Structure 1
Amino acid sequence: MESDLPWLAIGLVGLMVAFGLGFVAARFDLRQWKREVQESPKAYYKGLNLLLNEQQDKAIDAFIEAMQQDPGTADLHFALGNLFRRRGEYERAVRVHQHLLSRGDLPESDRQKAQHALAQDYLRAGLFDRAEAAFRALDGTPFATDARLELLGLYERSRDWRNAIEVARKLEASGAGSFATRIAHHWCEIAQEADARQRTDEAQAALAEARAAAPQAPRPLMLAGQRLARAGEHAQALAAWNELFALHPAAAALAAGDYASSAVAAGEVDDARARLTALQQRRPSMSTLAALLRLDTDAASRLARLRDNLQDQPTLSAAAALLGEHAKAGVPLTGADSERLAQVVAQRAKPQQRYRCAACGFEAQHYFWQCPGCHSWDSYPPSLIEDA
């Protein structure tokens, strides 16, 4: 028994040493962990503060420091990647989001968020093929609607109308709203491209799809009339435009010139004049007025129409048209015409008889040495707007 005592004492001493070392190590690790937890938010909030103060370079350094202290935090990666994108540093933003996607421990929600951020990086960088693939990879995720909206804009910019139609239909089916008019525009673009390649049947089919997508939309009716007029079918063109006039009087002015030409070709001048006159009374427009002048056969009628229009719609364009008609007909200006023209020119010249601040654009009738809007000194050029 006595011989075992030394060994027992040695074991107890070893156990106490091991316990002491473990306690010290635990205390050291605990302090280090606390210090990292405390330092990481400090760096993060420092970055946010710098960002709010528009010190983006310093904010990036702060976020990088925070990521180094806590490399597993996805939120810091997202903040840094978004900051890179805002600054136009798309390559660095791509690297940040690709790094996130390469992590095997990333939760699915963060993975989808990183995929969406990466798609936005590609889009802003002009890498449209990669952006398209990245956005399409978000089908079936909470980002699907946002991704389809981005894809729709991408396809429209690249004039990929059929893919745009496919995406717009998916958006409608998902309850994102009505895209009928937008789809009709896509089909109209396809029709115009087909006409340019002289594929008449393809253009006609596309135009029928546009009418089916949005029966009340003005553009398909306008294009239908223009196609019929080019084919020499002026009576049918007038019928298409009459429907446009009834449904969309505001857009009818866009077809007024073509309408007058087809009316002359079809021998329906009187009916066209009546319709265009009614349209001009409802929606005054220089385009409609020009179409009416084309239908008036004598100078006296055109001068009378211009005088009436100038009374109701005193625009510089109408004044110029009246002066031009007098010159063309060789008829001197009457006193009443001269007075009316002077009133119109004086009225329309007033907005140009002002001074404009070069710093903020504030306009004033009087010259200021200090701008009342932005308080800049010597920011007003010493000349009126019309003198520029």
Structure 2
Amino acid sequence: MFVPAGQVLRAYNLAPPPVTLNPSSLTFGNRPQGSTSPAQSSTITNSSGAPLTINAIGISGDFAQTNTCGTLPATFAPGTGCSVSVTFTPTASGTRTGSVTIDDSATGSPHQLRLTGYSFAFKAAHTLDGWGGLHADGGTPPLTDSAYWPGWKIARSAALLPDASAGYVLDGYGGVHTAGTIANVPTAYFGFDIARDIVFLPTATAANPQGYTLDGWGGIHPFGGAPAITGGGYWPFWDIAKRLVLLSDGTGGYILDGWGGLHGFAVGANPMPPSLSSAFWPGWSIARDIALAPGSTAANVAGVTLDGYGGVHPFGASGAVSGEALWPNWDIARAVRYSQDSTAANPMGWTLDGWGGIHQFGGAPAIPMGGFWPNFDIATQLIIG
């Protein structure tokens, strides 16, 4: 080969790696502690031109493995191999990691199959963006959203059924749009941007979705045959109502206004829930969201409200909140949710910022985010079921 003077000839080794793992990592979706996942597999292939000896296969973390590699050590001709099958049994909450380690005769040994699994107290978690996109968080399987408005920030809220199998996205005009497999029932429609929130009754199912939407004036509108409500708050021609929540038994709930006021309402013929107060900012519409502790009933209401700077404020029988993310003088906090294993005395959960960041408080585990948009205030709601 002739190489002109002053030129550099470089040679590159483009040979494949001596051991190929396909896939090179396994991820296991969210599941309860102590339960075992279905198995997932990866194929180990001798990608070199020489025999490969596998000496041992080990595993770490909350995972177990079986394999088809036979009695080890075992030798495999080029182009052949075996497979490893992995299950996940979480022993603690949060994101769990581990690896399958393959001790072999190839360069770069040991080779590793990376493992990730999730275990959270919720069945599902999703971040709603303002264009209507739903982004699965924390190992949750994705939901197919039937509506999306790119470039138009019109999605206002979303809700999951009690079994978290499906839900609705609410647009600002009052339209509801299916996410997952769920019946689509008529709801109050306003023709202008005034719808603010949506909730399901605890008895709602995919075949019989019942619940309520909230408009910015404070009107609560039943859908799917849900009973009418009494009480609440109503401010005609004033877009001040922000969110609504239902008690765990569906007998009543509360509206949150923008100043932080709580306004109880009763469902059907049930008695009114107790009058409660939380942080209050008269004349300043800075309240952003409200959540009730798991198991809250009229006899023992506990909850928190969220201000736009990230402050989480307990009310009712709730204990003090610790560790929340704060953004002083920056209105960027958007949603607050409890962890399902939280208690009234020791509240823990998460807040959502407008960029999509999810921040734990009270010792809740970190949730991997399904969507994150730095410098773009588009995240609208965190829905957890």
Alignment TM class, shorter chain as reference = under 0.3
So what's the TM-score if we normalise by structure 1?
A: 0.22
TM-score (norm 2): 0.22
Larger RCO (alpha carbons 8 Å, 6+ apart): 2
Q: Hey, which of these two has a bigger chunk of helix by percent?
A: 1
Largest Rg, 1 or 2: 1
